[in-house]
Structure 1
Amino acid sequence: MDITPIHRRVIGLDVHQSKISACALIEQPDGNIVVEHQEFGGFKRDRRALAEWVSGFTPEVVVMESTGIYWKSPYAALERVGILAWVVNARHARNVPGRKTDVSDAQWLATLARAGLVRASFIPPADIRHLRLIARQRQKLGGMLASEKNRLHKVLADAGIRLNVLVSDLHGKSARAMIRALLDGQPIHAILAHAGRLRASRTDLFEALQPEELSARHRFVLNEILAHIDYLEATMTRFEQELLHGLAPWEAQLCLLETVPGIDRMGAAMLLVEIGADMDSFGSAERLASWVGICPGNNESAGKRKSGRTRKGNAWVRRLLCEFAQAAARTRCALKDKFSALSIRKGHKRAIVALAHKMLRIVYAMLNHASPYQDRTVDYEALMVQRNAPRWLKMLQKHGYLATA
């Protein structure tokens, strides 16, 4: 059975680091198909020539695979001439092995797109894509910062300093000040003066801050780690300021996302640059969850349900959602009740993923309808009355509707 064509003018692009293979399938008025191949380099002049060549066909669809980061520059070149290409999942457009070449890959992509057998992935607008660079680098810096903090803990333990036993956060203000004073060689009473309101007794702190072997090498390494931690924290602050400044046009969406338990300002900003503010791009919460890779997979054969583990998707969004779920599970809301019910049957990790899936569907509904999160366990009317009743009573007494006491 022949594949019924849906689009008449289609171009497929097989993108590599230094080469782009293009194939145009153009249906003539008499029904004949004209196939034209062309190859371009990977430099700016080549991408400009590619955009001119593609626009000369006035295609209905231009399709390319999401091969690493190499698709981004050709996509931007086409976008500048008014062509929004389809970026498709490589596993959905895999060519038949045996006669596989770059030229045949481009023609295969065009053939699939012509028959409507591939679907474009979500590509946000250029301004959101550029903000993604800031958000993702900020996440990388966060990982580096966590690694350095862990290393500081290990070096302190190697020197026999057991401050982490007495403080909940080794990198809190008081603990950090005591560590710096210790490395500066200050006397013990000056070090303990930085303890502030710590619950631990001064006797225990004195014992914990007695190093067994705090050599000059330990001091050197600890000072360098602290300097790197300060640098990373300052860098992350600059990244956060630039990200929030760039998201000023989407202030309303940021405020909506902040109403969800477990999502703070920065978490809302980092989620927004990944999924965008226009939910029409996905069409449904199910498609959004499938794109992220947070929903259960389908694997059924011969009437038997096999492993339904989650598929690969947007790892950046999945990581954010799991962090949100961890935070929401510790709040007093309906999401915590959901997590408690799931963790009994599925365990902690599966329950976190399931709660992250639920939170993503909530986020979709909020952005789609421009409405804030409303928790079913909270009586919002009672809260409004509690907040405004004193003012209402004053106004009623002022205008004579209530007798003054």
Structure 2
Amino acid sequence: MERKMKLGMDVVNFNAGGIDVGSRSHFVAVGQELEDVKEFGVYAEDLTALCQWLLECSVTTVAMESTGDYWQNLYTELIGFGFEVVLANGKFTKNAKGKKTDVKDCRWIQKLHTLGLLTGSFLPDLATEQLRTYCRQRGNWIELASSATHKMQKFLKLLNFRLDVVVKDVCGLTGMRIIEDICKGNLDPYELAEHRHYNCRKPKEEIARALHGNNREDYLFGLQQELQNYRFCQRKIKACDKEIERTIKRYIIANPETKKLRTTEKPHKRINKNAPDIKNMNQLAFRYFDGVDLFAIEGLSHASILSIMSEIGPEGFKKFHSAKHFTSWLRLAPNNKISGGKVLSNRVPKGSNRMKIALRQAANAIGNLKDTHLSDFFRRIAFRRGRHSAVSATARKLAVIIWNMVTKKVPYDPPRPYLFLDQKRKMGLVKRIKKQIDKFELKPEELGFCKHLKTST
């Protein structure tokens, strides 16, 4: 007679609940029976009633999916009531059997969380989250300003004002002066050319030749409106910069021991027009990261540092146990798939976030530098695998360097320059010769160096 075996799993989280988050209602499960499931609305009083019901059911920990933006208010309410909340990625809760319903989903989430099979997503602290809101809003305005710039270029081409040919940046000093004068009604090409900035490469004569247009009123009307949109976006970007600077200084004031920290100036760091308008960004970032100078890394710009400050913050690095975990979260580490002892795939997984984009942009800038440790690393990878792979590899290396600097409080100390094989052999030969000279206590006269110097003079 065959004996039946039952394989059970240990309960990890006692008194656990599961929530299926929705746009109009939330389904909450505190057990696997139908009477253990209850539906709540999304208003403030409904969220309070949900938390009170969980307290009545003796629930101490709750798991839910990160569905859109619907989870945020509920998450804040649960934290306020003292629950331990696990915000899980939706891809880890998809494998439920049978027809998909909200009731089955919340019960499945509750079951997985009870057995300890769900892991929480990364969430920054409150100060970093507030800074992230301002920085992301600033990024939205930059995208809108870029769209207005493209539309201005389009109307200029329709007017046959080929400003894009004679000016490198249409929204630069020369370009904006000319566009503003055109919108005021001045269409004389020679008077418009007088707005040339002294840094502009093209002479006034060539600029005037490019500004003979057809002067259509409908295109001029469209250009005027896009110029107004561009100015409006620029005002909003400056307002975001003020809030960002105020938030950073408020964080530094809350930590008075960091006020005395100072670092060296970085005049070599170039500031473009989209860089945040924040005074002493170098010193503020040094104090924000408690004496860690991220500006010392070549390739990191003001926008890159601001992305690191707003997306993860100084406390967020501590949530990753190692640099490998950090690079894996950024989706910059290879995703090794092994079966039967054979590597089936080691490609970098798909997916992106704002910090990964910032590191890849910094890596691409490093590829254009010369005679630095990271640029040499970039060129070695690009020679073997191509520039696209070099950008990913350098971005991962940057992430490892930044994690070690912030968590271990170590300065950026790049190793010696990369040596090729013939250079290594030459240095090894010189070392061996020096050892032999020291071993036998040889003098220059015995080696014939003095005779050689006399004959050469």
TM-score, normalised by the number of residues in structure 1: 0.83
CA distance in 1, matches of 2:352, 2:312: 10
1:120 aligns with 2:120: yes
Structure 2: tracts of 5 or more residues without a match: 1-6, 253-283, 418-457
Q: Which residue of 2 is the match for residue 297 of structure 1?
A: 335
Q: Deviations over 1:222-273 (max 9, x none)?
A: 1111111111111112112212321221542356333332333343223222
Deviation of 1:147 (Å) = 1.9
1:5 aligns with 2:18: no
CA distance in 2, matches of 1:56, 1:359: 49
Q: Deviations over 1:184-215 (max 9, x none)?
A: 3154443222112122122211212222x231
Deviation of 1:146 (Å) = 1.7
1:201 counterpart letter in structure 2: P
Q: Which residue of 2 is the match for residue 334 of structure 1?
A: 373
CA distance in 2, matches of 1:374, 1:35: 61
Deviation of 1:340 (Å) = 1.7
Using a 3 Å threshold, how does the CA distance of structure 1 residues 2 and 361 change in structure 2: closer, same or farther? same
1:48 aligns with 2:48: yes
1:318 aligns with 2:356: yes
Deviation of 1:76 (Å) = 0.4
Q: Which residue of 2 is the match for residue 267 of structure 1?
A: 304
For 1:194, what is the secondary structure of its paired residue?
coil
Partners of 1:95 and 1:105 within 8 A in 2? no
CA distance in 2, matches of 1:375, 1:209: 51
Deviation of 1:351 (Å) = 2.1
Deviation of 1:99 (Å) = 4.1
1:209 to 208, 211, 232: 211
Deviation of 1:290 (Å) = 2.2
Q: Which residue of 2 is the match for residue 225 of structure 1?
A: 226
Question: Bigger shift: 302-311 or 117-126?
Answer: 302-311
Deviation of 1:97 (Å) = 3.3
Alignment map for 1:135-154 (pairs within 5 Å): 135-154=135-154
Alignment map for 1:339-378 (pairs within 5 Å): 339-376=378-415
CA distance in 2, matches of 1:371, 1:265: 21
1:61 aligns with 2:61: yes
Using a 3 Å threshold, how does the CA distance of structure 1 residues 307 and 162 change in structure 2: closer, same or farther? farther
Using a 3 Å threshold, how does the CA distance of structure 1 residues 376 and 120 change in structure 2: closer, same or farther? same
Question: Bigger shift: 309-318 or 144-153?
Answer: 309-318
CA distance in 2, matches of 1:85, 1:297: 28
Q: Deviations over 1:83-124 (max 9, x none)?
A: 241101111121323143222222211221222212111111
Partners of 2:60 and 2:83 within 8 A in 1? no
Structure 1: tracts of 5 or more residues without a match: 27-32, 379-405
Q: Which residue of 2 is the match for residue 401 of structure 1?
A: none
Q: Which residue of 2 is the match for residue 92 of structure 1?
A: 92
Q: Which residue of 1 is the match for residue 202 of structure 2?
A: 200
2:302 counterpart letter in structure 1: R
1:77 aligns with 2:77: yes
Partners of 1:24 and 1:35 within 8 A in 2? no
1:268 counterpart letter in structure 2: I
2:135 counterpart letter in structure 1: A
TM-score, normalised by the number of residues in structure 2: 0.74
Structure index of larger Rg: 2
2:134 counterpart letter in structure 1: I
Partners of 1:11 and 1:63 within 8 A in 2? yes
2:239 counterpart letter in structure 1: R
1:245 aligns with 2:234: no
For 2:194, what is the secondary structure of its paired residue?
helix
CA distance in 2, matches of 1:297, 1:143: 32
Partners of 1:75 and 1:84 within 8 A in 2? no
After superposition, the CA RMSD in angstroms is: 2.5
2:27 to 3, 17, 21: 21
Partners of 1:122 and 1:282 within 8 A in 2? no
1:276 aligns with 2:313: yes
Question: Bigger shift: 142-151 or 14-23?
Answer: 142-151
Partners of 1:291 and 1:314 within 8 A in 2? no
CA distance in 2, matches of 1:89, 1:209: 55
Using a 3 Å threshold, how does the CA distance of structure 1 residues 208 and 304 change in structure 2: closer, same or farther? farther
Percent identity (aligned): 25
CA distance in 2, matches of 1:155, 1:303: 60
1:371 counterpart letter in structure 2: V
Partners of 1:95 and 1:108 within 8 A in 2? no
For 1:272, what is the secondary structure of its paired residue?
helix
